[in-house]
């Protein structure tokens, strides 16, 4: 069920849902407008591929955009919402692009799902898919956050998950694939601190074996339950 403005305001007033700064005018019938923060990060143009399973923070450059930032056609940057949000455990969020920006060729909702219990400055993956440069301006409303209630309580809330690596992020949250539990398991098993290009074949085999092993365990457990039942 989509939460209405009445329910959103009640949850904010009673402390169930956190939104800071709060602008009442940005709460609409069934959504909340979020604004662009004052910094963006981008990767310098390079023909050298990055290894996404390692820490790639050094590939990004963060800049303030108080005077605006011109996003050229075909270019991509990472930003963040100015608002810091705290979702209840019984609610998920979905980020939708503003129609106004889409008509200019700008998309800000490539990263659109928000876990129950998440808190932080939401990441905004901003892409210019149009054919003209567009200036990004901090403080401008760039996307809509819609909240949905869950059918029941979650078994493991996001803050308690092993790889809840983006919980409590402030400012721009850079990609952290290397903190995924399966990647960490590979590093521990291999007794190494990073995945080099020559290790990618072993990583692929390790991940495949992990998936097959876990799947077989699940099937076996279901079979045991069926027999006992």
pLDDT, tens digit, 9 for 90 and up, residues 47-82: 778 888 999 898 999 999 999 999 999 999 999 999
Q: Are residues 109 and 155 in the same domain?
A: yes
Instruction: Note the pLDDT tens digit of each residue in 85-122.
Output: 999 999 999 999 999 999 999 999 767 899 999 999 99
Q: Are residues 13 and 48 in the same domain?
A: yes
Q: Are residues 207 and 168 in the same domain?
A: no
Q: Are residues 82 and 188 in the same domain?
A: no
Q: Are residues 132 and 194 in the same domain?
A: no
Contact between residue 168 and residue 114 where contact means Cβ atoms under 8 Å apart? no
Model confidence, pTM: 0.86
Q: Are residues 169 and 192 in the same domain?
A: no
Q: Are residues 20 and 120 in the same domain?
A: yes
Tell whether the model's pLDDT for residue 198 goes beyond 60. yes
Distance CA 121, CA 25 (A): 20
Instruction: Note the pLDDT tens digit of each residue in 119-140.
Output: 999 999 999 999 999 999 999 9
Taking the CB of residue 4, how many other CB atoms lie within 10 A of it? 15
Domain that holds residue 201: 181-228
Q: Are residues 29 and 141 in the same domain?
A: yes
- Total domains in the chain come to 2
Q: Are residues 157 and 170 in the same domain?
A: yes
Q: Are residues 79 and 111 in the same domain?
A: yes
Measured CA distances, 222 to 37, 219, 227 (Å) = 48, 5, 9
* DSSP-derived 3-state class of residue 200: helix
Tell whether the model's pLDDT for residue 164 goes beyond 80. yes
Taking the CB of residue 226, how many other CB atoms lie within 10 A of it? 8
Q: Are residues 48 and 140 in the same domain?
A: yes
Q: Are residues 139 and 219 in the same domain?
A: no
């Amino acid at each position: 069920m989509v939460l209405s403005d009445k329910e959103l305001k009640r949850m904010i007033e009673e402390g169930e849902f956190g939104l800071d700064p709060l602008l009442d005018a940005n709460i609409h019938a069934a959504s909340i407008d979020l604004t662009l923060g004052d910094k963006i990060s981008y990767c310098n143009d390079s023909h050298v591929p990055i290894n996404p399973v390692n820490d790639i923070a050094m590939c990004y450059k963060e800049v303030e955009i108080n005077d605006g930032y011109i996003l050229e056609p075909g270019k991509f940057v990472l930003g963040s919402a100015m608002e810091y949000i705290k979702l209840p455990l019984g609610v998920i969020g979905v980020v939708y692009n503003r129609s106004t920006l889409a008509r200019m060729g700008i998309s800000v909702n490539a990263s659109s799902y928000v876990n129950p219990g998440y808190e932080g400055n939401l990441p905004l993956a901003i892409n210019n898919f149009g054919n003209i440069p567009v200036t990004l301006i901090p403080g401008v409303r760039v996307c809509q956050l819609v909240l949905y209630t869950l059918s029941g309580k979650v078994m493991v809330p996001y803050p308690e998950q092993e790889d809840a690596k983006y919980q409590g992020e402030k400012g721009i949250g850079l990609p952290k694939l290397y903190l995924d539990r399966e990647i960490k398991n590979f590093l521990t098993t291999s007794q190494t601190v990073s995945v080099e290009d020559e290790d990618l074949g072993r990583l692929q085999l390790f991940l495949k074996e992990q998936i097959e092993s876990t799947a077989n365990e699940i099937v076996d457990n279901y079979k045991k339950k069926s027999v006992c039942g």
